[in-house]
Amino acid sequence: MRVDLLITGLDIIGGAEVFVRQISPKLIQSGVGLHVITVKSGGVLINELRNENVQVTELGIRNKNDLSVFRKLNELWNQDKPDVLHTHLFHAGIIGRVTGKYSKIPKIIVHQHGYEYNRTLRRILFDKLSSNLVTQYIVSCEAVAKILQTREKINNKKISIVYNGIDLYAFDHSGNLSENIDHLLRIGSPLVCSIGRLEPEKGQKEIILAINRLLKQGQDVNLLLVGSGSSEASLKKLTRDLGLEEKILFTGTIREIPSLLSRIDIFVLASKWEGISMAILEAMAARKPVIATAVGGTPELINHQHTGLLVQVDDETALSNAIIHLLRNPALCKSFGEEGRHRIEKEFQIDKTINQIINIYEKSNT
């Protein structure tokens, strides 16, 4: 079976990008003839894929209004047409379904990773008007399935739920951190960590305010913010304004996630909206207690009071209360960590994800 994975870009470290990076070698190992195509060029993930012998083609489109992307894809598929086209992210989804149908690709699958709470009316209309070109939608969780049904008016029969999966081998055989990161993490105080793009919707501002509240209450704690993005400058300014430069560490993007998680005490994600968070799955795989906002697919991952704590969005007081509750209850932290790991082993392993995707690829059209 020949499959092309088309994604808008692999130039940032986001959930959809990491998902494509994760599943591509696994699909090849399962016998799929795979070709990854990126609309934009560049990114460390492309190099990582090529290092694992995954074929990657970069179309080199710099402007989302550059219509040459349709010609480039059509020329590519005229030479080597796949049996299945599997798209990721909005622009690749629209471009892929239109060009794929013109190129007579038998099956076109659109993967919706998050529900994009702030999706524009224009994007909604594009999706609605072109949904008839899609053979099947894959969504990351029940929450995303519901939004496609209600907002884009997609028939439930065309939606398959496939949860993101984790490769537990990486967490059971994590190596050492690079020397510069290891030096930064020689911290004696309890360490809270959040991993994700530094964007407004990820809620890092609220985490900083929660840490500030804890420190004012006399609770010693340090915060690790892993990632990069458009909010980095404003978040660093907030940290300086609060006088927390010595308590909050911005690491930038780190690829050694299993090793990093082995060094933290509590994982926090304060997203304003979310599909299925790879960061939460990774924290659970590393046996870390998780505090997260009850948005999107997160309640499908976190069983409140069993595998972690759920709080309301935009509430730094609730976040600080949850953090201090876990800091003062190490036995509860251990219990949450073990329960979370058990849930990953039972329901969210990468092999299950790969098998479900291949079944969708092989499913005959109806």
Q: Output the 3-class SS for the chain.
A: CEEEEEECCCCCCCHHHHHHHHHHHHHHHCCCEEEEEECCCCCHHHHHHHHCCCEEEECCCCCCCCCHHHHHHHHHHHHCCCCEEEEECHHHHHHHHHHHHHCCCCEEEEEECCCCCCCCHHHHHHHHHHHHHCCEEEECCHHHHHHHHHCCCCCHHHEEECCCCECHHHHHCCCCCCHHHHHHCCCCCCEEEEECCCCHHHCHHHHHHHHHHHHHCCCCCEEEEEECCCCHHHHHHHHHHCCCCCCEEEEECCCCHHHHHCCCCEEEECCCCCCCCHHHHHHHHCCCCEEEECCCCHHHHCCECCCEEEECCCCHHHHHHHHHHHHCCHHHHHHHHHHHHHHHHHHCEHHHHHHHHHHHHHCCCC
Strands 266-269 and 84-88, by their bridges, are: unpaired
pLDDT single digits (tens) 341-351: 999 999 999 99
184 pLDDT band, cuts 50/70/90, is: low
Q: If you average pLDDT over residues 310-325, what whole number do you get?
A: 97
**What pTM does this model have?**
0.91
pLDDT mean over 102-121: 90
Q: Do domains 2-165+349-362 and 169-347 have the same CATH topology?
A: yes
**How many Å apart are CA 279 and CA 302, to the nearest integer?**
12
Dihedral Cα 146, 152, 153, 154, nearest 10 deg: -70
Q: What is the mean pLDDT of residues 47-55?
A: 96
Rounded to 5 degrees, what are φ and ψ at 55? -70, 125
Q: What is the pLDDT of residue 135?
A: 97
On the question of pLDDT at 359 being above 90, the answer is yes
211-223 pLDDT, tens digit each: 999 999 999 999 9
Give the pLDDT score at 314: 94
Q: Is the separation of the CB atoms in 194 and 267 below 8 Å? A: yes
C-alpha dist (Å) from residue 94 to 38, 39, 66: 14, 12, 13
pLDDT of residue 363: 87
Query: Quick one: pLDDT at residue 170?
Result: 85
Q: Has domain 2-165+349-362 been given CATH number 3.40.50.2000? A: yes
Average pLDDT over residues 92-116: 94
Q: Could you give the percent of the chain with pLDDT greater than 90? A: 84
pLDDT tens per residue across span 259-303: 899 889 999 999 999 999 999 999 999 999 999 999 999 999 999
Other CB atoms within 10 Å distance of the CB of residue 149: 15
Q: Does domain 169-347 have CATH number 3.40.50.2000?
A: yes
- Reported as a single tens digit per residue, the pLDDT across 187-211 is 667 999 999 999 999 999 999 999 9
Least confident among 11-15, 68-72, 171-175: 171-175
Question: Average pLDDT for residues 319-339, to the nearest whole number?
Answer: 97
* Cα Rg of the chain, angstroms: 21
Cβ atoms of 225 and 248 closer than 8 Å: yes
Structural domain boundaries in the chain? 2-165+349-362, 169-347
- Taking residues 40-61, what's their average pLDDT? 96
Query: Span 140-148, mean pLDDT?
Result: 94
Geometric angle at alpha carbon 145, from 9 and 266, rounded to 5°: 70
